[in-house]
Amino acid sequence: MSGRLSNLNTRLAKVEQQVADRAWRERLAHCNCCPQDPECLGIPLVLSSAKEFEEMIVPCSAHGFRDLGKLIVLPLVKAGGTLAEKSVGLDEVVAEYNRRRSEFLTSHPGA
């Protein structure tokens, strides 16, 4: 009887793994990370507004953290060299994103 139970447990574990793998593939199909999109590779994301950037940071359904890839920050500057109001805080928001991205990539190698 224990041989049948062992065989049943093995088959059950295999089915559970198949279900988990399928769920992961389905979530990955809805990934909104830039590096997952071949058209996005090598195309810099140009940012000029803290609000605009914060709106882009929606979680990825597959990874949790949305990886936007390479960022180029171009704050808007008024005549006279002062920072435009919409760009205030952009450096801080991007620095926080870069910190979180670094942590994510360290904890999820190959993601």
When pLDDT is cut at 50, 70 and 90, the band that residue 24 belongs to is low
Examine the pLDDT at 25 and tell me if it is beyond 60. yes
Comparison of pLDDT for 67 and 46, the residue scoring more = 67
Q: How many residues are given for the chain? A: 111
Looking at residue 108, the DSSP 8-state letter turns out to be S
Measured from the Cβ of residue 34, the count of other Cβ atoms closer than 10 Å reads: 19
**Separation CA 28–CA 25 (nearest Å):** 5
When pLDDT is cut at 50, 70 and 90, the band that residue 37 belongs to is low
Domain ranges of the chain: 1-30, 31-107
